[in-house]
Amino acid sequence: MTGAVVFDLFETLVDYDEEKSLAFSAAAADLLGRERESFHALWREGRPVRDSGPLSPYLASIGVEGADAEQLLELRRGFSADVLRTPRNGVLETLRELGGRGIRTGLITVCSEDVVDVWAQTPFADVFDSEVFSCSCGSRKPDPRLYLQACEELDVEPAWPGVRDWPGPRITKIPEVLELV
């Protein structure tokens, strides 16, 4: 019997829109009086740092502090809230059905703290039994600590052997998971 199912967030439960990402970095560059293309490159380059800890030290490292930092954070929170507002088709129904079957659900995602800041206002609030955000853990996938934390919170044993070369069934839409549990 399946005890838990763990999901990724971006490109699994929600779409990540590259055009919106470019619009965010353009708005951020304009806000800070910086050149758009170079700021976008700088923002992208900093993703590993942003996704594994608090945003303030990263922003300070690129010269964004004080009121500018707070305005940028607000802009980023708005971007994240917009991305998280629309789950892919069938996602919420599938998560609820899993819970109804007594199967615990978890989330492991690589994200910066703006996602955590707006999480309670998204359709995903209070849906998962475990939520592991990389920025809160200080590490990114594929660091095993993220997976171990989720397994501990879900009270299940990890299944490591063969995961990278999984020969088993694959799904293309989240509701298909219901056929496998």
Label residues 164-178 b or e (16+ Cβ within 10 Å = b): eeeeeeeeeebeebb
User: pLDDT tens across 64-90, in order?
Assistant: 999 999 999 999 999 999 999 999 999
Q: How far apart are CA 67 and CA 76, in angstroms?
A: 14
Q: Does residue 145 share a domain with residue 70?
A: no
100 and 174 inside one domain = yes
Same structural domain for residues 75 and 98?
no
Q: 54 and 105 share a domain?
A: no
- Domain with 151, as residue range(s), is 4-15+88-179
3-state secondary structure the chain: CCCEEEECCECCCECCCHHHHHHHHHHHHHHHCCCHHHHHHHHHHCHHHHCCCCHHHHHHHCCCCHHHHHHHHHHHHHHHHHHHCCECCCHHHHHHHHHHCCCEEEEEECCCHHHHHHHHHCCCCCCCCEEEEHHHHCCCCCCHHHHHHHHHHHCCCCCCCCCCCCCCCCCCCHHHHHHCC
The number of distinct structural domains making up the chain is 2
pLDDT by residue (tens digit) across 1-10?
789 999 999 9
CATH number assigned to the domain comprising residue 133: 3.40.50.1000
- CA-based R_g, the chain, Å: 18
The domain boundary residue, chosen from 60, 84, 108: 84
Contact 72, 31 (CB under 8 A): yes
Are 172 and 116 in the same domain?
yes
125 and 94 inside one domain? yes
Q: Report the greatest alpha carbon distance in the chain.
A: 56
Answer yes or no: do 100 and 79 share one domain.
no
71 and 125 in a single domain? The answer is no
Tokens for 54, please give them: 């608090």
Asked if residues 148 and 160 have their Cβ atoms less than 8 Å apart, the reply is: no
Q: pLDDT (tens digit, 0 to 9) for every residue of the chain, 181 residues total?
A: 789 999 999 999 999 888 999 999 999 999 999 999 999 999 999 999 999 999 999 999 999 999 999 999 999 999 999 999 999 999 999 999 999 999 999 999 999 999 999 999 999 999 999 999 999 999 999 898 999 999 999 999 888 666 667 777 888 899 999 998 9
Same domain, 99 and 53: no
Q: Among 63, 84, 105, identify where a domain stops.
A: 84
74 shares its domain with 9: no
Q: Which residue, 39, 68, 84, sits at the end of a domain? A: 84
